[in-house]
Amino acid sequence: MKTFYLRTLGLRMLALVVATAPVLPAAESLAPTKAARPWVSDRLSVCVYCGASDLAPPKYAEYARQLGKALAARRWTLVWGGSKTGLMGAVARGAKEAGGRVEGVLPEFIRQWEVAYEAADEMIVVATMHDRKMMLQARSDATVILPGGIGTLDEIGDVLDLRSLNQNRKPIILLNQDGFYDSLLAFLDYTVAEKFTKNESRQHLLVAKSVEEIVGLLEKVERVPGTVSR
């Protein structure tokens, strides 16, 4: 597993690191060349947000595993939060078991809990949760959101906000497995009705009910100019 540290003190520093990542000596020494990595540039990188709890019903982890396998089958790269637990571990294992590439981004304080997925092809360690979200978005072409808790809810709000402000034009796909997100979707509709959210912004969230629907939406995605090349 490849690991390197991005020591950032704030938004401006992280943005500088992201912008220059392809030429940093540390990154170059740990990442094979494009010729040795057919995953780069011509293949999608998909960010997956999901829960890390091992206590959730097994059906959610099974869907996550299926998604990981589906990404790998199409030679798309999984970019995720780096953990081996819960749905996060399930999606990574599904991808690796099917021969896929997985790239994790993990805050240092979580890495110290020894929950990192050791089989990851690449693991980036950052300073904060905020840095983690920024790096995940910088390295991906689309975002898929599976069931999760407070952390996943934060990630949903963050990526939707960026999309609404035209700071991120990448597709956002929500898996509403067995109606898991029905209440959230109803709340978002209510914010539109009460004029707190524009309907256009609400429509940025694409809803799927199965892994097959997610894949169908992802197949329409093209690589986004400016996504970090690895």
CA 116 to chain centre: 15
Question: So what CATH class is 3-7+42-218?
Answer: alpha beta
Report if pTM > 0.85: no
Q: What are phi and psi of 157, to 5 degrees?
A: -60, -40
What is the tens place of the pLDDT at every residue in 139-192? 999 999 999 999 999 999 999 999 999 998 999 999 999 999 999 999 999 999
Distance, CA of 194 to CA of 132 (rounded, Å)? 32
Average pLDDT score, the chain? 84
Q: Which residue is listed with tokens 């978005």?
A: 137
Which residue stretches of the chain are H helix? 11-20, 25-30, 58-73, 86-97, 108-111, 129-138, 150-164, 182-193, 199-202, 211-218
For the chain, the structural domain boundaries read: 3-7+42-218
Q: What is the mean pLDDT of residues 110-127?
A: 95
The pLDDT of residue 5: 43
Is the pLDDT confidence value at 45 over 50?
yes
By the 10 Å C-beta count (0-12 exposed, 13-18 middle, 19+ buried), 179 is classed as exposed
